Amino acid sequence: MHIIVTVRHERISDTGRIAEQLAAQGMKIEGVLSTVGVITGSVKAEELMAVRKIDGVESIDEDRSMGLPPPNSDVQ
């Protein structure tokens, strides 16, 4: 599953290290936005609990894809 990890405000300067810890717990890191404390990637469902327990993680949200119909479609 694709997830978005938000780092606690007081730990934003540690975002890179937290990303390394997430990877050690099985998360495949796809992006690290250090200035805002956001890490994106994917993880197996059975590894999600270990990822949640990492110190400095504020929240984990599932990354969902959305699509819009083409501009000329009948659905508007």
Cα(1)–Cα(37) distance, integer angstroms: 20
pTM value is: 0.82
Could you tell me the residue range of the domain that residue 8 belongs to?
A: 2-62
**Residue at 72 is within a domain:** no
**Of 66, 73, 75, 61, the residue nearest 7 (C-alpha):** 61
The secondary structure of the chain in percent helix, strand, coil, rounded to multiples of 5, reads 30, 30, 40
Q: Residue 7: count other Cβ atoms within 10 Å of its Cβ.
A: 26
CATH of the domain at 36: 3.30.70.920
What is the tens place of the pLDDT at every residue in 48-61?
889 999 999 999 99
Helices (H), the chain: 15-24, 48-52
Question: How does DSSP assign 15-29, residue by residue?
Answer: HHHHHHHHHHTT-EE
Give domain status of residue 45, yes or no.
Answer: yes
Please report which confidence band the pLDDT of residue 17 belongs to, taking 50, 70 and 90 as the band edges. very high
